[in-house]
Amino acid sequence: MNEHDSENIAGMLEAIGYIHEENPNMADVLIVNTCSVRENADNRFFGVLGTFKKIKKSNPDFIVCVCGCMPQQPRIVEEIKKSFSWVDIIFGTQNISRFPELLDRRIETGKKQYAIVDDNPVVEEHMEPKRLFKHKALVNITYGCNNFCTYCIVPYTRGREKSRTVKDICTEIDKLCRDGVKEVMLLGQNVDSFKDPVTGEGFPDLLRAINRINGLERIRFMTSHPKDISDDMISCFGECDKLCHNIHLPVQCGNDRVLKRMNRKYNRAQYLEIIEKLREACPDITISTDIIVGFPGETEEEFEDTLSLVNEVGFDSAFTFIYSPREGTPAAKFEDQVPEEIKHRRFDRLVDDINRISLEKNSTYLGKICEVLVEGKSKNNDNVYSGRTDGFKLVNFDACSERELEGKTVSVKITECKTFSLEGVIVDETI
């Protein structure tokens, strides 16, 4: 979501004549797009911001902007105004479309510009993002979140949930496909609660409508919520041929008492039942998840429930997080915070299991031929291409062909399986 905000900001600036400059010393405008989901991001932000003061001092025309989730929190804005008073523009996640106007006003008046909280954000339909990849695009389907998991700051920084219409989303994707896009990643904090504000259509209806768009090859979405995923959605895996056989379904933990205190509104048995249904509907589906360790009050036995769930499900991959108290969220006030040392120990045990299982899962691909949508050449080696399978496995293979393969689907035979990627050789270019 944050990356897509950056794409939108870059797109708006290009539309008014700016060009991208990687080196801050050479730039006229610098934008720091922030995340606040964990404390580490908070801490790094102030350190990074401080490093730009020198440029600002040597060049008063240099314009520094801070945006994203951090300025949605009043205490952060106060801190910026107090300790980083040279920051020119501050705007929040719900004011992105106002950025060009704020920039103009800052240049014209020389005055600082702030656009932070917005109680009634408009669903922005007119932004033209500058995409990171030619062949794949991020597409928002909802903004904000209504779930208030007790550890999470997102509902406070991104506001209440708002869905776009099926029509607007399909129009955007149709346009993207005419521009060469083959794969879309639909974005929402909880895609399963998508509801068209005009027609009342839900997420499965949206998937079916997108599946009919000409030129599109792959549909992905993120993130699903176990409390809202429906049988109708699961049946889309059998029905929609463009829907990738992959799902990111955060479980957060494997113990019912902790899940309740997290306000996740499902239990372990219900989560396992969804996994079973997904595998029934789509036997080769790959499944990834998010897990938090060291949530307040988590006992050793409760943590072991998470380990046993991880082993029972057999996730293809998992994002693992050490619980990080976020000011303003209910869990930050829970009194039974787990000591750092214990959190780290549990985290290491979890990561060991996850990595072992990922390698086991990846090993089943040895000798198989996979269809890979090529993302580009490897950053470190010009002779190696990388791309993704339908199941989101990262595949690296030798670029023996002189042809430009980016954005093409090729067949790759898997010759080596690692924990986080597969290696292979190109068999033939199917397109």
Give the residues lining the site for ligand SF4 (CB under 6 A): 145, 147-149, 152, 154-155, 189-190, 225
Asked if 290 is part of the footprint of ligand 5AD (rule: CB under 6 A), the reply reads yes
Whole-angstrom distance, CA of residue 421 vs CA of residue 410: 17
Paired with 219 in beta bridges are 184, 243
Asked if 292 is part of the footprint of ligand 5AD (rule: CB under 6 A), the reply reads yes
Region of 103-111, 157-165, 273-281, 318-326 interacting with ligand 5AD (CB under 6 A): 318-326
- Of 151, 315, 385, 397, the one binding ligand 5AD by CB under 6 A: 151
- The nearer residue to ligand 5AD, 155 or 376, going by C-beta atoms, is 155
Contacts of 384 (CB under 8 A, 6+ apart): 377, 378, 396, 397, 398, 399
Nearest approach in angstroms of CB 192 to ligand SF4 is 10
- The nearer residue to ligand SF4, 95 or 150, going by C-beta atoms, is 150
Token pair 């924990």 in the structure block, residue: 419
243-272 binders of ligand 5AD (CB under 6 A): 250, 252
Whole-angstrom distance, CA of residue 72 vs CA of residue 94: 9
Q: 53-59: list long-range contacts, CB under 8 Å, 24+ apart.
A: 53/84, 53/86, 55/24, 55/25, 55/30, 56/86, 57/86
- Residue type at position 119: D
Nearest approach in angstroms of CB 177 to ligand 5AD is 29
Contact between 95 and 157 (Cβ < 8 Å): no
Alpha helices in 229-313 (DSSP H): 231-239, 256-261, 268-281, 300-313
- Which of left, alpha, beta for 144 (phi over 0: left; psi -120 to 50: alpha)? left
- Of 266, 271, 321, 397, the one binding ligand 5AD by CB under 6 A: 321
**Could you give the string, one character per residue 18-57, with x where binding to ligand 5AD holds by CB under 6 A and - elsewhere?**
-------------------xx-------------------
Residue among 333, 305, 306 nearest 321 (CA): 306
Nearest approach in angstroms of CB 317 to ligand 5AD is 14
- Of 95, 324, 358, 389, the one binding ligand 5AD by CB under 6 A: 324
Q: Which does 274 bind (CB under 5 to 8 A by kind): ligand 5AD, ligand SF4, none?
A: none
Binding residues for ligand 5AD, rule: CB under 6 A, are 37-38, 151-152, 250, 252, 290, 292, 321, 323-324, 326
